[in-house]
Structure 1
């Protein structure tokens, strides 16, 4: 699967594309970061769920971050004690249960890198981000229709493009996949991130 990825994406330049992308995927964090982007109803959350399931089943500790891009605030469980703390003016509030630790921060101006900084406190192998189209981390772009194709000219570090209708993407100079066949794409993506980046092996930090 990865060999196909390299061959098809090799059209983008003379240097083997996986080397180009590997260099671009280097970042200042302790773990690789990968994005899933696209407009509303393009399948982002579905793709995220499948990638999370697959990577977790292979032993990777996966962190996720979703951009709430529809205005307003993310949903919270109201009338809980932690919610009351926030409404009273707390800058940060958290609650610890038996197996979960939830944290909410009142910080309207937090930039993406500031948010990622929180994740460095945890033993993660990879961080998956849903949204933040304009960020420069490597990404999969999901396409709904012909109009969405303009995204490909506006975004950076595109690794692959997915769509429900393969007719929309079959002639693109990117690795492409149909959303209904996502499971066939996941082993190649897993190998690309873990082997080509030479960062992790079987979920264990080197």
Structure 2
């Protein structure tokens, strides 16, 4: 499977760019899945629900299923945080996996950058960042796209991973 990341500091526009890229690329006929790294603890379950009760009782994995979706929750208990490489093995085959976060991993990435938060660019010190999507003009040694030019960014990503930008 092809993988491509979207990285950037907090409030750089990563999630909005991810959302637009998924819509753009799936609209071209490609199947896309996403991985989102969270730097904090999170829960997709709710106290009092049966699945939560199973986890609290000690289950290592709880699979919650309905006719619309399923979610597999794996409790890490005393395990280390899983690597991105391991997590990718858990995703069903698709044309492209878009990854939000995991900026230190070695897959190709586009950096989302907004001037307003005042954060420095990651790209100058990271060769895995193949392009930058920004709300200001930048002079870099790699392509710079307007942060809102989703079509051009999608074209670049699809070409970079070896997929036809016009669709399958």
- Return the TM-score normalized by structure 2: 0.85
Kindly indicate whether the alpha-carbon contact (under 8 Å) linking 1:136 and 1:156 is maintained by their aligned counterparts in 2: no
Q: Pick the aligned partner of 1:181 from 142, 149, 152.
A: 149
- Return the TM-score normalized by structure 1: 0.70
In structure 1, list runs of 5 or more residues that go unmatched: 1-30
Q: Distance in 1 between matches of 2:19 and 2:159?
A: 18
> Is 1:114 aligned with 2:86?
yes
Cα deviation for residue 147 of structure 1 reads: 4.1
> Is 1:83 aligned with 2:52?
yes
Q: Which residue of 2 aligns with 1:137?
A: 107
Secondary structure at the aligned position of 1:174 is classed as coil
Q: Distance in 1 between matches of 2:17 and 2:151?
A: 10
> 1:20-63 deviations in whole A, cap 9, x for unaligned?
xxxxxxxxxxx011100011110000010011111111222211
Q: Between Structure 1 and Structure 2, how many residues are aligned? A: 160
Between 79-88 and 124-133, report the one with greater CA deviation. 79-88
Q: Distance in 1 between matches of 2:131 and 2:62?
A: 38
Kindly indicate whether the alpha-carbon contact (under 8 Å) linking 2:24 and 2:150 is maintained by their aligned counterparts in 1: no
Q: Which residue of 2 aligns with 1:153?
A: 124
Between 109-118 and 36-45, report the one with greater CA deviation. 109-118
Q: Which residue of 1 aligns with 2:96?
A: 126
The runs of at least 4 consecutive aligned structure 1 residues that moved more than 6 Å come to none
Kindly indicate whether the alpha-carbon contact (under 8 Å) linking 1:133 and 1:155 is maintained by their aligned counterparts in 2: no
Q: Distance in 2 between matches of 1:182 and 1:55?
A: 10
Q: 1:98 to 1:91 in 2, by over 3 A?
A: same
Q: Distance in 2 between matches of 1:123 and 1:152?
A: 29
Q: 1:156 to 1:87 in 2, by over 3 A?
A: farther
Secondary structure at the aligned position of 1:48 is classed as helix
